[in-house]
Chains A and B, each alone.
Chain A
């Protein structure tokens, strides 16, 4: 079965075309790293797969079915937000709030919701962490709780929107290893969006690279090449490999790192600490 299939899909927001006539298929159980410059449509594609962004043309199928908002077979991890206020709410209550949390007419979660939350917390190794107040957890710990929320309801496909943002390299690898372990344990498909390719090298099965309204899906060697990326960036791109790492360059300027810095400069409310620590790699 295919986890995700796009057939001639065009996505547009406010009249601006984000993706034009894109076709690709992600197989069940695949770990896909989704990359591309800011504004290439990574978040828009995730929102379209969730049924939150309209499809201007073409057909999207998720797990063999047409897109359906609230599909319980799709797990979603949104970008990290800082919690508001200073409620010392425990991580456990935070995770449970999402277990069937869309149901009206119930005051408290049902027993099965608590069981589901415990199962998810155990999967990500956050059973003890969940006793602590959410506002006292680090960025990496909070990502684990968010991943637990995404795993509620036993999804077959996980959509992860920038789980590495604002984490230092060490924590980035911890998150990637965790997602990989859970993905293989459950045999589910993962679409993992990221700013940088290097942390994901060695983990991802294939790369989905978005840019210039187009998409390229394939192995790292197929996609991360001068000709393919030049097409996606609409500018001459050179790919340099050093010590097993890959650098995407345009006029001697490293693009992914530039994107990263750019994003931090605009900082949209991710938790502040560890920003500086995350710059020095790539």
Chain B
């Protein structure tokens, strides 16, 4: 069905045809990079039970992005600056705040409110609000792909370096602490990595739908696998499949790409619930 248009004789149609457009290639590249980074970082986020903190970070980023535009800075840098600041703050407060849904929820709404205020002051920007909130992968340019690639590589490298203490502190915090792991250092570093991953995911699916890339694939994978290594690989594969299929479907249907990615992410997650119930 994806190639349904290919038989009409018009050369640039279908999945293969869409690859001849530069903006589509950029969208697929950006989506692919972010699917991997958000998926792997999200895998640990889900395991640590901090998904709501990740969700809130993206909303803080909304205030950052709109605020940046107000002072004449590229939205992405405003977004990443504020998610990073908020992520470090959460990491510093550690356990005391990551479990406090109400406090996090209040910060989340406050940030959205602030973002709205910034938009109000800069009315010409209002048209782009939708793109910030819900993302538009086809508007990603070549330079952004490069930025996403570099930041994503830094994220994954940092995660690889802290992988073992992070896992230890996540699964057995008391024992990890006794064995010399600084829970605060782990939490701080990890939240910084999450902040960057959230900012990346927001470029693809918008600040409101960050869950679809950060949480959906990881949560589904964790219900389907019992091995850590298999879980991470499956998360990446699911994230890539959902993102690329979503972009292709958006290209075909002209519906928003974020809708398709969110739909596929939700489908995979709820399918994993059913599958786990059968096998249990």
Contacts and interface: CB of A to CB of B under 8 A. Distances in A.
Contact of B47 (A70, A78, A85, A105): A85
A38 interface: no
Given A84-B48, A149-B172, A90 B164 contact: no
Contacts of B48: 84
A76 B175 CA distance: 7
Given A94-B171, A98-B172, A98-B175, A108 B226 contact: no
Interface string B200-234: 00000000000000000000001111111101000
A88 B226 contact: yes
Interface string A79-119: 10101111111100110011011111111110000000000
B94 interface: no
Contact of B174 (A70, A78, A90, A136): A78
A69 interface: yes
A85 B164 contact: no
Given A88-B276, A105-B161, A70 B223 contact: no
Contact count band on B: 20 to 34
B181 interface: yes
A131 B229 CA distance: 15
Contacts of A97: 164, 167-168, 171-172, 228
Given A84-B48, A85-B49, A101 B168 contact: yes
Given A52-B178, A84-B48, A85-B46, A104 B222 contact: no
A108 B229 contact: yes
Contacts of B271: none
23 contacts: A50-B178, A76-B178, A79-B174, A84-B49, A85-B47, A85-B49, A87-B222, A87-B223, A87-B231, A88-B223, A89-B228, A93-B227, A98-B175, A101-B165, A101-B167, A101-B168, A101-B181, A102-B168, A104-B162, A104-B164, A107-B164, A133-B226, A149-B175
Interface of B: 46-49, 160-165, 167-168, 171-172, 174-181, 222-229, 231, 276, 280
The 6 closest A-B pairs by CB, nearest first: A70-B180, A101-B168, A78-B174, A87-B222, A84-B49, A90-B226
